[in-house]
Structure 1
Amino acid sequence: MVFSLFSKKNRIINLVINDHSIRFLELKQEDPPTPQRWLERFLPPGIIRDGKIVDIDSLSSILEECIDEWKIKRRSIRFIVPDPLVIIRKVTIPADVQEDEIKGYLYLELGSSIHLPFEEPVFDYYSLPDNDKTRDLLLFAAPEQNVMEYVNLLSKLKMNPVSADISPLSLYRLYHKVDRAGGDEVLFTVQFDLTSVNLCIFDETIPLVMRHFGLPFDINQWEITRNSLGLMVGKYTGEPEELVLQFEDIFKEINKLMDFYRYSNNTEKPDITKFLLNGDHPLLMAIYDEMKERYEIPVDLLTIDKEAKSKHPSIPTNLLLPLGLALKEVQ
Protein backbone atom coordinates (compact mmCIF):
# COMPACT_ATOMS: atom_id res chain seq x y z
CA MET A 1 0.00 0.00 0.00
CA VAL A 2 1.20 3.51 -0.81
CA PHE A 3 -0.33 6.75 0.34
CA SER A 4 -0.63 8.61 -2.94
CA LEU A 5 1.55 11.63 -2.24
CA PHE A 6 4.80 10.70 -3.88
CA SER A 7 6.76 9.85 -6.99
CA LYS A 8 9.23 6.98 -7.28
CA LYS A 9 12.97 7.53 -6.89
CA ASN A 10 16.05 5.36 -6.52
CA ARG A 11 18.62 4.98 -3.71
CA ILE A 12 16.00 5.04 -1.03
CA ILE A 13 16.65 5.36 2.71
CA ASN A 14 14.17 3.62 5.03
CA LEU A 15 13.11 5.63 8.06
CA VAL A 16 10.97 4.63 11.03
CA ILE A 17 9.99 7.34 13.51
CA ASN A 18 7.88 6.55 16.55
CA ASP A 19 7.25 8.13 19.96
CA HIS A 20 10.61 7.00 21.35
CA SER A 21 13.06 6.54 18.49
CA ILE A 22 14.30 7.36 15.00
CA ARG A 23 15.66 4.42 13.00
CA PHE A 24 17.31 4.37 9.62
CA LEU A 25 18.29 1.42 7.44
CA GLU A 26 19.81 1.12 3.99
CA LEU A 27 19.32 -2.12 2.07
CA LYS A 28 22.34 -3.90 0.63
CA GLN A 29 20.52 -6.72 -1.14
CA GLU A 30 17.01 -8.08 -1.30
CA ASP A 31 17.70 -11.84 -1.31
CA PRO A 32 18.45 -12.70 1.40
CA PRO A 33 17.29 -9.41 2.94
CA THR A 34 20.55 -7.82 4.09
CA PRO A 35 21.04 -4.30 5.43
CA GLN A 36 24.09 -2.35 4.36
CA ARG A 37 24.03 -0.05 7.38
CA TRP A 38 21.67 1.04 10.13
CA LEU A 39 21.57 3.49 13.03
CA GLU A 40 19.07 4.74 15.57
CA ARG A 41 18.51 7.60 18.00
CA PHE A 42 16.46 7.66 21.20
CA LEU A 43 13.75 10.34 21.34
CA PRO A 44 13.02 11.92 24.73
CA PRO A 45 9.37 11.73 25.81
CA GLY A 46 7.06 14.53 24.72
CA ILE A 47 8.48 15.25 21.25
CA ILE A 48 6.09 12.84 19.52
CA ARG A 49 2.97 11.63 21.29
CA ASP A 50 0.64 9.00 19.84
CA GLY A 51 2.32 9.44 16.47
CA LYS A 52 1.65 13.19 16.33
CA ILE A 53 4.48 15.71 16.37
CA VAL A 54 4.17 17.78 19.56
CA ASP A 55 7.52 19.62 19.62
CA ILE A 56 8.45 20.16 15.99
CA ASP A 57 11.45 22.38 16.81
CA SER A 58 13.10 19.69 18.95
CA LEU A 59 12.30 16.97 16.42
CA SER A 60 13.70 19.12 13.63
CA SER A 61 16.96 19.69 15.56
CA ILE A 62 17.37 15.99 16.39
CA LEU A 63 16.55 14.90 12.84
CA GLU A 64 19.00 17.43 11.42
CA GLU A 65 21.75 16.01 13.67
CA CYS A 66 20.86 12.47 12.59
CA ILE A 67 20.84 13.34 8.89
CA ASP A 68 24.28 14.95 9.15
CA GLU A 69 25.73 12.17 11.30
CA TRP A 70 24.28 9.40 9.14
CA LYS A 71 25.23 11.23 5.91
CA ILE A 72 21.84 10.81 4.27
CA LYS A 73 21.10 14.40 3.23
CA ARG A 74 19.34 14.77 -0.15
CA ARG A 75 18.49 11.07 -0.24
CA SER A 76 15.06 9.73 -1.13
CA ILE A 77 13.16 8.31 1.83
CA ARG A 78 10.49 5.73 2.52
CA PHE A 79 8.86 6.08 5.91
CA ILE A 80 6.32 4.36 8.12
CA VAL A 81 3.17 6.31 8.89
CA PRO A 82 2.99 6.11 12.72
CA ASP A 83 0.61 3.35 13.84
CA PRO A 84 -1.66 5.55 16.02
CA LEU A 85 -2.56 7.62 12.95
CA VAL A 86 -3.62 4.70 10.74
CA ILE A 87 -7.09 3.22 10.36
CA ILE A 88 -7.95 0.07 8.42
CA ARG A 89 -11.64 -0.17 7.63
CA LYS A 90 -13.77 -2.41 5.44
CA VAL A 91 -16.15 -0.41 3.22
CA THR A 92 -18.79 -1.48 0.71
CA ILE A 93 -19.39 0.30 -2.58
CA PRO A 94 -21.73 -0.46 -5.52
CA ALA A 95 -20.45 -3.24 -7.77
CA ASP A 96 -20.86 -1.07 -10.88
CA VAL A 97 -18.17 1.41 -9.77
CA GLN A 98 -15.34 0.89 -12.27
CA GLU A 99 -11.76 0.32 -11.13
CA ASP A 100 -10.56 3.71 -12.39
CA GLU A 101 -13.49 5.42 -10.64
CA ILE A 102 -12.99 3.94 -7.15
CA LYS A 103 -10.68 6.61 -5.75
CA GLY A 104 -12.96 9.40 -6.95
CA TYR A 105 -16.00 7.61 -5.52
CA LEU A 106 -14.26 7.28 -2.15
CA TYR A 107 -13.36 10.98 -2.15
CA LEU A 108 -17.02 11.85 -2.67
CA GLU A 109 -18.31 9.46 0.01
CA LEU A 110 -15.80 10.31 2.75
CA GLY A 111 -17.65 12.26 5.38
CA SER A 112 -21.08 11.19 4.13
CA SER A 113 -21.56 7.43 3.79
CA ILE A 114 -17.96 6.65 4.85
CA HIS A 115 -17.10 8.09 8.27
CA LEU A 116 -13.59 8.45 9.67
CA PRO A 117 -12.53 10.00 13.00
CA PHE A 118 -10.63 12.76 11.18
CA GLU A 119 -11.17 15.10 8.27
CA GLU A 120 -9.16 15.32 5.04
CA PRO A 121 -7.56 11.87 5.07
CA VAL A 122 -4.81 10.59 2.87
CA PHE A 123 -5.82 7.08 1.89
CA ASP A 124 -5.38 4.02 -0.26
CA TYR A 125 -7.54 0.93 -0.75
CA TYR A 126 -7.39 -2.76 -1.55
CA SER A 127 -10.17 -4.54 -3.45
CA LEU A 128 -11.67 -7.64 -1.82
CA PRO A 129 -13.62 -10.34 -3.69
CA ASP A 130 -16.99 -8.91 -4.71
CA ASN A 131 -20.45 -10.18 -5.56
CA ASP A 132 -22.91 -8.98 -8.21
CA LYS A 133 -24.49 -6.22 -6.11
CA THR A 134 -21.72 -4.74 -3.98
CA ARG A 135 -17.95 -4.51 -3.87
CA ASP A 136 -15.91 -4.64 -0.67
CA LEU A 137 -12.73 -2.67 -0.15
CA LEU A 138 -10.19 -2.34 2.62
CA LEU A 139 -9.62 1.36 3.21
CA PHE A 140 -6.28 2.46 4.68
CA ALA A 141 -6.46 6.04 5.94
CA ALA A 142 -4.58 8.57 8.06
CA PRO A 143 -5.09 12.29 8.74
CA GLU A 144 -3.36 14.15 5.92
CA GLN A 145 -2.35 17.04 8.20
CA ASN A 146 -0.30 14.80 10.49
CA VAL A 147 1.26 12.81 7.66
CA MET A 148 2.19 16.00 5.82
CA GLU A 149 3.91 17.35 8.94
CA TYR A 150 6.44 14.54 8.57
CA VAL A 151 6.69 15.01 4.80
CA ASN A 152 7.20 18.77 5.07
CA LEU A 153 9.73 18.44 7.90
CA LEU A 154 11.82 15.90 5.98
CA SER A 155 11.63 18.05 2.84
CA LYS A 156 12.73 21.11 4.82
CA LEU A 157 15.76 19.14 6.02
CA LYS A 158 16.78 18.41 2.39
CA MET A 159 15.33 14.92 2.26
CA ASN A 160 13.03 13.60 -0.47
CA PRO A 161 10.02 11.59 0.85
CA VAL A 162 8.92 9.29 -1.96
CA SER A 163 6.83 6.54 -0.35
CA ALA A 164 4.91 5.73 2.82
CA ASP A 165 3.81 2.41 4.29
CA ILE A 166 2.19 1.03 7.42
CA SER A 167 4.06 -1.17 9.88
CA PRO A 168 1.97 -4.40 9.62
CA LEU A 169 2.48 -4.52 5.84
CA SER A 170 6.22 -3.89 6.18
CA LEU A 171 6.58 -6.69 8.73
CA TYR A 172 4.44 -9.06 6.68
CA ARG A 173 6.53 -8.28 3.58
CA LEU A 174 9.66 -9.45 5.41
CA TYR A 175 7.85 -12.44 6.92
CA HIS A 176 6.75 -13.53 3.44
CA LYS A 177 10.16 -12.82 1.90
CA VAL A 178 11.94 -15.21 4.26
CA ASP A 179 9.40 -17.98 3.50
CA ARG A 180 7.77 -18.12 6.92
CA ALA A 181 4.21 -17.69 5.59
CA GLY A 182 2.02 -20.77 5.26
CA GLY A 183 -0.95 -21.49 3.02
CA ASP A 184 -4.48 -20.62 4.23
CA GLU A 185 -2.93 -18.81 7.17
CA VAL A 186 -4.70 -16.40 9.52
CA LEU A 187 -1.81 -14.54 11.10
CA PHE A 188 -2.09 -12.36 14.20
CA THR A 189 0.87 -9.96 14.30
CA VAL A 190 1.93 -8.41 17.62
CA GLN A 191 4.34 -5.49 17.33
CA PHE A 192 5.42 -4.97 20.97
CA ASP A 193 7.48 -1.81 21.34
CA LEU A 194 8.77 0.19 24.29
CA THR A 195 5.90 2.68 24.34
CA SER A 196 3.13 0.97 22.36
CA VAL A 197 1.70 -2.26 20.96
CA ASN A 198 0.19 -2.70 17.51
CA LEU A 199 -2.04 -5.68 16.73
CA CYS A 200 -3.10 -6.76 13.24
CA ILE A 201 -4.87 -9.82 11.83
CA PHE A 202 -4.00 -11.03 8.32
CA ASP A 203 -6.21 -13.37 6.35
CA GLU A 204 -3.52 -14.84 4.12
CA THR A 205 -1.89 -11.63 2.78
CA ILE A 206 -4.71 -9.20 3.63
CA PRO A 207 -4.62 -7.10 6.85
CA LEU A 208 -8.27 -7.21 7.89
CA VAL A 209 -8.18 -5.34 11.19
CA MET A 210 -5.64 -3.34 13.20
CA ARG A 211 -5.64 -2.00 16.76
CA HIS A 212 -3.06 0.21 18.45
CA PHE A 213 -2.46 0.67 22.19
CA GLY A 214 -0.12 3.00 24.03
CA LEU A 215 1.93 1.74 26.97
CA PRO A 216 2.59 3.90 30.04
CA PHE A 217 6.20 5.07 29.84
CA ASP A 218 8.09 6.82 32.63
CA ILE A 219 11.61 7.69 31.52
CA ASN A 220 12.68 7.81 35.18
CA GLN A 221 12.02 4.07 35.43
CA TRP A 222 14.22 3.15 32.49
CA GLU A 223 17.95 3.25 31.80
CA ILE A 224 18.53 3.79 28.07
CA THR A 225 22.06 3.03 26.83
CA ARG A 226 23.73 2.03 23.56
CA ASN A 227 25.26 -1.35 22.80
CA SER A 228 28.30 -2.12 20.65
CA LEU A 229 26.16 -1.90 17.51
CA GLY A 230 25.00 1.60 18.45
CA LEU A 231 21.47 0.39 19.15
CA MET A 232 19.30 1.31 22.12
CA VAL A 233 19.27 -0.96 25.14
CA GLY A 234 16.58 -0.40 27.76
CA LYS A 235 16.74 -1.65 31.34
CA TYR A 236 13.67 -1.32 33.53
CA THR A 237 14.40 -0.02 37.04
CA GLY A 238 10.83 0.37 38.34
CA GLU A 239 8.58 -2.07 40.15
CA PRO A 240 8.17 -5.29 38.12
CA GLU A 241 4.48 -5.45 39.06
CA GLU A 242 3.85 -2.31 36.99
CA LEU A 243 5.12 -4.00 33.83
CA VAL A 244 3.13 -7.15 34.66
CA LEU A 245 -0.06 -5.05 34.79
CA GLN A 246 0.81 -3.41 31.45
CA PHE A 247 1.35 -6.78 29.83
CA GLU A 248 -1.88 -8.17 31.31
CA ASP A 249 -3.80 -5.30 29.72
CA ILE A 250 -2.27 -6.10 26.33
CA PHE A 251 -3.08 -9.81 26.63
CA LYS A 252 -6.69 -8.82 27.34
CA GLU A 253 -6.70 -6.71 24.16
CA ILE A 254 -5.26 -9.64 22.18
CA ASN A 255 -8.10 -11.82 23.45
CA LYS A 256 -10.69 -9.16 22.57
CA LEU A 257 -9.37 -8.83 19.03
CA MET A 258 -9.36 -12.60 18.58
CA ASP A 259 -13.00 -12.68 19.71
CA PHE A 260 -13.86 -9.80 17.37
CA TYR A 261 -12.34 -11.67 14.44
CA ARG A 262 -14.24 -14.85 15.29
CA TYR A 263 -17.61 -13.14 15.57
CA SER A 264 -17.29 -10.67 12.71
CA ASN A 265 -16.33 -13.25 10.07
CA ASN A 266 -18.48 -16.05 8.73
CA THR A 267 -18.06 -19.52 10.18
CA GLU A 268 -16.32 -20.78 7.06
CA LYS A 269 -13.28 -18.64 7.88
CA PRO A 270 -10.53 -20.43 9.84
CA ASP A 271 -9.58 -19.27 13.31
CA ILE A 272 -6.22 -17.62 14.09
CA THR A 273 -3.50 -20.08 13.04
CA LYS A 274 -0.36 -18.30 14.28
CA PHE A 275 0.95 -15.33 16.27
CA LEU A 276 3.87 -13.39 14.83
CA LEU A 277 5.73 -11.41 17.49
CA ASN A 278 8.14 -8.58 16.82
CA GLY A 279 9.15 -5.28 18.39
CA ASP A 280 11.80 -3.32 20.24
CA HIS A 281 10.59 -3.90 23.80
CA PRO A 282 13.58 -4.88 25.99
CA LEU A 283 11.55 -7.75 27.49
CA LEU A 284 10.44 -9.17 24.15
CA MET A 285 11.76 -12.66 24.91
CA ALA A 286 9.86 -12.73 28.22
CA ILE A 287 6.71 -11.65 26.34
CA TYR A 288 7.36 -14.43 23.80
CA ASP A 289 7.66 -17.03 26.57
CA GLU A 290 4.48 -15.76 28.24
CA MET A 291 2.51 -15.91 24.99
CA LYS A 292 3.65 -19.49 24.43
CA GLU A 293 2.42 -20.38 27.92
CA ARG A 294 -0.95 -18.63 27.54
CA TYR A 295 -2.02 -19.65 24.05
CA GLU A 296 -2.41 -22.96 22.29
CA ILE A 297 -1.83 -21.10 19.02
CA PRO A 298 1.80 -21.28 17.79
CA VAL A 299 3.87 -18.16 18.47
CA ASP A 300 6.55 -17.24 15.90
CA LEU A 301 9.22 -14.71 16.82
CA LEU A 302 10.16 -12.86 13.65
CA THR A 303 13.86 -13.24 12.94
CA ILE A 304 15.85 -13.90 9.80
CA ASP A 305 18.86 -15.56 11.43
CA LYS A 306 18.04 -18.95 9.87
CA GLU A 307 17.95 -17.42 6.41
CA ALA A 308 20.93 -15.11 6.80
CA LYS A 309 24.30 -16.41 5.67
CA SER A 310 26.94 -16.86 8.35
CA LYS A 311 29.10 -14.07 6.97
CA HIS A 312 26.32 -11.57 7.64
CA PRO A 313 25.76 -10.29 11.20
CA SER A 314 22.56 -11.21 12.99
CA ILE A 315 19.96 -8.48 12.50
CA PRO A 316 18.47 -7.14 15.76
CA THR A 317 14.70 -7.45 16.08
CA ASN A 318 14.21 -3.69 16.36
CA LEU A 319 15.60 -3.31 12.83
CA LEU A 320 13.24 -5.80 11.18
CA LEU A 321 10.51 -3.19 10.65
CA PRO A 322 12.76 -0.84 8.60
CA LEU A 323 14.14 -3.92 6.82
CA GLY A 324 10.62 -4.91 5.78
CA LEU A 325 10.04 -1.33 4.66
CA ALA A 326 13.22 -1.56 2.57
CA LEU A 327 11.74 -4.47 0.60
CA LYS A 328 8.90 -2.28 -0.65
CA GLU A 329 9.17 -1.49 -4.36
CA VAL A 330 12.73 -2.76 -4.63
CA GLN A 331 13.85 -2.18 -8.21
Structure 2
Amino acid sequence: HPDDVEPSKLREYAEMEIGYSIHLPFDDPLIDVFDPVEGDGKAMMFAANSEPVNQYINLLLDIHTYPEAADVRALCNLRLLESMNLLDDTKTYLLTNWLINELSITIYSKGNVEFQRFQPLDTDLSKWKAKEAGEHQLDFSYLGEFDEYRMLITDQMLELERIMDFFRFSISKEQNGIDEIIVMGDNPNLNNIHSHLKQNFELPIKLINDQFMKKHYPGFKAKHAALLGLALKEVK
Protein backbone atom coordinates (compact mmCIF):
# COMPACT_ATOMS: atom_id res chain seq x y z
CA HIS A 1 0.00 0.00 0.00
CA PRO A 2 1.18 3.62 -0.52
CA ASP A 3 3.34 5.07 2.24
CA ASP A 4 0.96 7.98 2.83
CA VAL A 5 -1.93 5.73 3.90
CA GLU A 6 -2.23 5.84 7.68
CA PRO A 7 -2.76 2.53 9.52
CA SER A 8 -6.20 3.65 10.68
CA LYS A 9 -7.20 4.34 7.05
CA LEU A 10 -6.06 1.03 5.54
CA ARG A 11 -9.51 -0.54 5.53
CA GLU A 12 -11.00 2.55 3.89
CA TYR A 13 -8.19 2.50 1.30
CA ALA A 14 -8.80 -1.20 0.55
CA GLU A 15 -12.54 -0.61 0.11
CA MET A 16 -11.81 2.15 -2.43
CA GLU A 17 -9.43 -0.10 -4.38
CA ILE A 18 -11.84 -3.04 -4.72
CA GLY A 19 -12.67 -3.37 -8.41
CA TYR A 20 -9.58 -1.37 -9.42
CA SER A 21 -6.27 -2.64 -8.05
CA ILE A 22 -7.96 -5.27 -5.86
CA HIS A 23 -10.14 -7.87 -7.58
CA LEU A 24 -12.33 -10.35 -5.71
CA PRO A 25 -14.36 -13.30 -7.05
CA PHE A 26 -17.61 -12.09 -5.44
CA ASP A 27 -19.69 -8.92 -5.09
CA ASP A 28 -20.53 -6.97 -1.92
CA PRO A 29 -17.59 -8.27 0.13
CA LEU A 30 -17.02 -7.83 3.82
CA ILE A 31 -13.38 -6.97 4.42
CA ASP A 32 -10.92 -6.33 7.20
CA VAL A 33 -7.27 -5.31 7.08
CA PHE A 34 -4.46 -6.39 9.39
CA ASP A 35 -1.18 -4.47 9.45
CA PRO A 36 1.33 -6.56 11.47
CA VAL A 37 4.28 -4.20 10.93
CA GLU A 38 3.34 -0.54 10.61
CA GLY A 39 5.36 1.47 8.11
CA ASP A 40 6.62 -1.41 5.95
CA GLY A 41 4.08 -0.74 3.17
CA LYS A 42 2.52 -4.21 3.54
CA ALA A 43 -0.79 -5.28 5.03
CA MET A 44 -3.02 -8.35 4.90
CA MET A 45 -6.61 -8.10 3.72
CA PHE A 46 -9.33 -10.60 4.64
CA ALA A 47 -12.40 -10.71 2.42
CA ALA A 48 -15.57 -12.78 2.47
CA ASN A 49 -18.81 -12.94 0.56
CA SER A 50 -21.27 -10.91 2.64
CA GLU A 51 -24.26 -13.21 1.96
CA PRO A 52 -23.17 -16.30 3.97
CA VAL A 53 -21.69 -14.10 6.71
CA ASN A 54 -24.98 -12.24 7.09
CA GLN A 55 -26.82 -15.56 7.18
CA TYR A 56 -24.72 -16.59 10.19
CA ILE A 57 -25.30 -13.22 11.84
CA ASN A 58 -29.07 -13.40 11.34
CA LEU A 59 -29.18 -17.00 12.59
CA LEU A 60 -27.40 -16.05 15.81
CA LEU A 61 -29.61 -13.01 16.28
CA ASP A 62 -32.76 -15.09 15.76
CA ILE A 63 -31.81 -17.46 18.60
CA HIS A 64 -30.55 -14.59 20.77
CA THR A 65 -27.00 -15.93 20.85
CA TYR A 66 -24.09 -13.52 21.02
CA PRO A 67 -20.74 -15.27 20.52
CA GLU A 68 -17.72 -13.91 22.35
CA ALA A 69 -15.29 -15.03 19.64
CA ALA A 70 -15.40 -16.00 15.97
CA ASP A 71 -12.62 -16.81 13.57
CA VAL A 72 -11.68 -18.47 10.29
CA ARG A 73 -11.19 -22.22 10.80
CA ALA A 74 -7.71 -22.12 9.27
CA LEU A 75 -6.58 -19.45 11.74
CA CYS A 76 -7.99 -21.51 14.62
CA ASN A 77 -6.01 -24.52 13.41
CA LEU A 78 -2.84 -22.47 13.06
CA ARG A 79 -3.30 -21.10 16.58
CA LEU A 80 -3.63 -24.63 17.92
CA LEU A 81 -0.56 -25.86 16.03
CA GLU A 82 1.39 -22.91 17.38
CA SER A 83 0.34 -23.78 20.93
CA MET A 84 1.83 -27.26 20.37
CA ASN A 85 5.09 -25.76 19.01
CA LEU A 86 4.61 -27.44 15.63
CA LEU A 87 5.26 -24.39 13.43
CA ASP A 88 8.69 -23.10 12.44
CA ASP A 89 8.71 -19.50 11.17
CA THR A 90 11.45 -20.39 8.67
CA LYS A 91 9.33 -23.05 6.92
CA THR A 92 6.36 -23.17 4.56
CA TYR A 93 3.43 -25.43 5.41
CA LEU A 94 0.50 -26.78 3.42
CA LEU A 95 -2.29 -27.11 5.97
CA THR A 96 -5.12 -29.39 4.84
CA ASN A 97 -8.32 -29.62 6.88
CA TRP A 98 -10.48 -32.56 5.77
CA LEU A 99 -14.19 -32.79 6.54
CA ILE A 100 -16.64 -35.31 5.11
CA ASN A 101 -17.75 -33.06 2.26
CA GLU A 102 -15.12 -30.33 2.08
CA LEU A 103 -11.41 -29.61 2.14
CA SER A 104 -9.89 -26.31 3.17
CA ILE A 105 -6.33 -25.60 2.04
CA THR A 106 -4.02 -23.04 3.61
CA ILE A 107 -0.41 -22.20 2.79
CA TYR A 108 1.36 -20.76 5.82
CA SER A 109 4.81 -19.42 4.98
CA LYS A 110 7.31 -17.88 7.38
CA GLY A 111 4.66 -16.70 9.81
CA ASN A 112 2.13 -15.47 7.23
CA VAL A 113 -0.96 -16.92 5.56
CA GLU A 114 -0.14 -16.77 1.85
CA PHE A 115 -3.01 -18.71 0.30
CA GLN A 116 -6.42 -20.14 1.18
CA ARG A 117 -8.88 -22.19 -0.82
CA PHE A 118 -12.08 -24.10 -0.12
CA GLN A 119 -12.68 -27.33 -2.07
CA PRO A 120 -16.06 -29.12 -1.90
CA LEU A 121 -16.05 -32.93 -1.89
CA ASP A 122 -19.03 -33.98 -3.97
CA THR A 123 -20.13 -36.90 -1.81
CA ASP A 124 -23.71 -38.08 -1.32
CA LEU A 125 -24.44 -37.15 2.30
CA SER A 126 -27.34 -39.62 2.39
CA LYS A 127 -24.71 -42.40 2.31
CA TRP A 128 -23.17 -41.21 5.57
CA LYS A 129 -24.57 -42.63 8.80
CA ALA A 130 -24.33 -40.84 12.14
CA LYS A 131 -23.98 -42.78 15.38
CA GLU A 132 -24.07 -41.38 18.89
CA ALA A 133 -20.64 -41.51 20.52
CA GLY A 134 -21.21 -40.05 23.94
CA GLU A 135 -22.98 -36.95 25.12
CA HIS A 136 -23.44 -34.35 22.36
CA GLN A 137 -21.09 -36.27 20.00
CA LEU A 138 -21.59 -38.18 16.77
CA ASP A 139 -19.35 -40.48 14.74
CA PHE A 140 -19.93 -40.85 10.99
CA SER A 141 -19.38 -43.85 8.72
CA TYR A 142 -19.73 -44.25 4.95
CA LEU A 143 -22.32 -46.80 3.79
CA GLY A 144 -21.53 -46.66 0.07
CA GLU A 145 -18.68 -48.18 -1.92
CA PHE A 146 -15.55 -46.73 -0.35
CA ASP A 147 -13.77 -46.74 -3.72
CA GLU A 148 -16.23 -44.03 -4.81
CA TYR A 149 -15.16 -41.83 -1.93
CA ARG A 150 -11.51 -42.73 -2.48
CA MET A 151 -11.78 -41.29 -6.00
CA LEU A 152 -12.88 -37.95 -4.53
CA ILE A 153 -9.81 -37.98 -2.30
CA THR A 154 -7.58 -38.86 -5.26
CA ASP A 155 -8.96 -35.89 -7.22
CA GLN A 156 -7.95 -33.63 -4.34
CA MET A 157 -4.38 -34.99 -4.47
CA LEU A 158 -4.13 -33.63 -8.01
CA GLU A 159 -5.53 -30.30 -6.87
CA LEU A 160 -3.03 -30.10 -4.01
CA GLU A 161 -0.19 -30.71 -6.44
CA ARG A 162 -1.45 -27.90 -8.71
CA ILE A 163 -1.74 -25.53 -5.74
CA MET A 164 1.79 -26.29 -4.58
CA ASP A 165 3.14 -25.62 -8.09
CA PHE A 166 1.08 -22.41 -8.29
CA PHE A 167 2.50 -21.23 -4.97
CA ARG A 168 6.07 -22.01 -5.92
CA PHE A 169 6.06 -20.36 -9.34
CA SER A 170 3.40 -17.62 -9.00
CA ILE A 171 3.05 -16.54 -5.37
CA SER A 172 6.44 -17.20 -3.79
CA LYS A 173 8.82 -14.52 -5.03
CA GLU A 174 11.76 -16.69 -3.98
CA GLN A 175 10.25 -19.72 -5.76
CA ASN A 176 10.31 -21.69 -2.52
CA GLY A 177 8.24 -24.84 -2.28
CA ILE A 178 6.29 -26.49 0.50
CA ASP A 179 8.41 -27.88 3.35
CA GLU A 180 5.75 -29.91 5.15
CA ILE A 181 2.12 -30.99 4.80
CA ILE A 182 -0.16 -31.05 7.85
CA VAL A 183 -3.30 -33.20 7.84
CA MET A 184 -6.18 -32.21 10.15
CA GLY A 185 -9.97 -32.36 10.33
CA ASP A 186 -12.91 -34.41 11.55
CA ASN A 187 -13.10 -36.73 8.53
CA PRO A 188 -13.46 -40.29 9.91
CA ASN A 189 -11.03 -41.52 7.23
CA LEU A 190 -8.21 -39.18 8.24
CA ASN A 191 -5.71 -42.02 8.67
CA ASN A 192 -6.45 -43.32 5.15
CA ILE A 193 -6.11 -39.80 3.74
CA HIS A 194 -2.75 -39.46 5.48
CA SER A 195 -1.55 -42.75 3.94
CA HIS A 196 -2.79 -41.65 0.51
CA LEU A 197 -0.87 -38.37 0.81
CA LYS A 198 2.32 -40.21 1.78
CA GLN A 199 2.02 -42.31 -1.37
CA ASN A 200 1.65 -39.23 -3.57
CA PHE A 201 4.06 -36.68 -2.08
CA GLU A 202 7.72 -36.99 -1.09
CA LEU A 203 7.40 -34.49 1.73
CA PRO A 204 7.21 -34.72 5.53
CA ILE A 205 3.53 -35.18 6.39
CA LYS A 206 2.26 -34.68 9.93
CA LEU A 207 -1.06 -36.20 10.97
CA ILE A 208 -3.05 -34.52 13.73
CA ASN A 209 -5.22 -37.50 14.71
CA ASP A 210 -6.87 -38.53 17.98
CA GLN A 211 -3.70 -40.09 19.35
CA PHE A 212 -1.65 -36.97 18.63
CA MET A 213 -4.26 -34.69 20.19
CA LYS A 214 -4.41 -36.83 23.32
CA LYS A 215 -0.71 -36.19 24.00
CA HIS A 216 -1.15 -32.42 23.99
CA TYR A 217 -4.79 -31.97 25.02
CA PRO A 218 -6.05 -35.01 26.99
CA GLY A 219 -9.77 -35.52 26.63
CA PHE A 220 -9.96 -33.98 23.17
CA LYS A 221 -9.95 -35.54 19.70
CA ALA A 222 -8.85 -34.46 16.24
CA LYS A 223 -12.37 -33.24 15.46
CA HIS A 224 -12.07 -30.70 18.29
CA ALA A 225 -8.96 -29.01 16.84
CA ALA A 226 -10.63 -25.92 15.36
CA LEU A 227 -12.77 -25.40 18.48
CA LEU A 228 -9.67 -25.59 20.68
CA GLY A 229 -7.96 -23.07 18.42
CA LEU A 230 -10.94 -20.76 18.79
CA ALA A 231 -10.86 -21.19 22.58
CA LEU A 232 -7.20 -20.12 22.52
CA LYS A 233 -8.11 -16.83 20.85
CA GLU A 234 -7.89 -13.79 23.08
CA VAL A 235 -11.29 -12.20 23.52
CA LYS A 236 -11.13 -8.43 23.87
TM-score of the aligned structures, taking structure 1 as reference length: 0.65
Contact 2:129 2:140 in 1 (8 A): yes
1:196 partnered with 2:72: no
* Residue of structure 2 equivalent to 1:317: 222
Is the alpha carbon distance of 1:251 and 1:160 closer, same or farther for their aligned partners in structure 2, counting shifts above 3 Å? same
1:68 maps to which residue? none
The alpha carbon displacement at 1:254 in A equals 0.5
Structure 1 pair 178–122 and aligned structure 2 pair: CA distance change class (3 A): same
Please tell me whether the aligned partners of residues 69 and 235 of structure 2 are also in contact (alpha carbons under 8 angstroms): no
Name the residue aligned to 1:259: 165
CA contact (8 A) 2:30 2:47 kept: yes
Match of 1:125, SS? strand
1:217 aligns with 2:123: yes
2:7–2:35 contact (8 Å) kept in structure 1: no
Q: 2:89, 2:109 within 8 Å by CA — same for their partners in 1?
A: no
Report the number of matched residues: 233
- Which of 217, 223, 228 does residue 134 from structure 2 map onto? 228
| Cα separation, 2, equivalents of 1:143 and 1:163 | 19
Structure 2 counterpart of 1:187, from 70, 83, 93: 93
**Structure 1 counterpart of 2:179, one-letter code:** T
Matching residue of 1:205: 111
Structure with higher strand content: 1
Q: Which residue of 2 aligns with 1:22?
A: none
The structure with the greater share of residues assigned to helix is 2
Summarize the Cα distance change of 1:165–1:227 in structure 2 as closer, same or farther, 3 Å threshold.
same
Q: CA deviation at 1:268?
A: 3.2
Q: CA RMSD of the aligned region, Å? A: 2.2
Aligned to 1:292: 198
Q: Deviations over 1:29-73 (max 9, x none)?
A: xxxxxxxxxxxxxxxxxxxxxxxxxxxxxxxxxxxxxxxxxxxxx
Structure 2 residue 202 is the aligned partner of structure 1 residue 327 = no
**Aligned residue number for residue 26 of structure 2:** 118
Q: What stretches of structure 1 move > 6 A for 4+ residues in a row?
A: 128-132
Counterpart position of 1:305:
214
Whole-angstrom CA distance in 2 between matches of 1:154 and 1:230: 20
**Corresponding residue of 2:180:** 274
SS of the residue corresponding to residue 305 of structure 1 reads helix
Q: Secondary structure at the match of 2:122?
A: coil
CA distance in 2, matches of 1:173, 1:208: 16
Runs of at least 5 residues in structure 2 that lack an aligned partner in the other structure = none
Q: Displacement, 1:266?
A: 4.7
Q: Match of 2:94, as an amino acid?
A: F
Find the residue that maps to 2:230 and give its secondary structure: helix
* More contact order relative to length (CA 8 Å, sep ≥ 6): 1
1:95 aligns with 2:3: yes
For normalisation by structure 2, the TM-score amounts to: 0.89
Q: Sequence identity of aligned pairs in percent?
A: 28
Q: Which moved more, 1:100-109 or 1:248-257?
A: 100-109
Cα distance between partner residues in 1 of 2:202 and 2:39: 36
Paired letter, 1:317: A
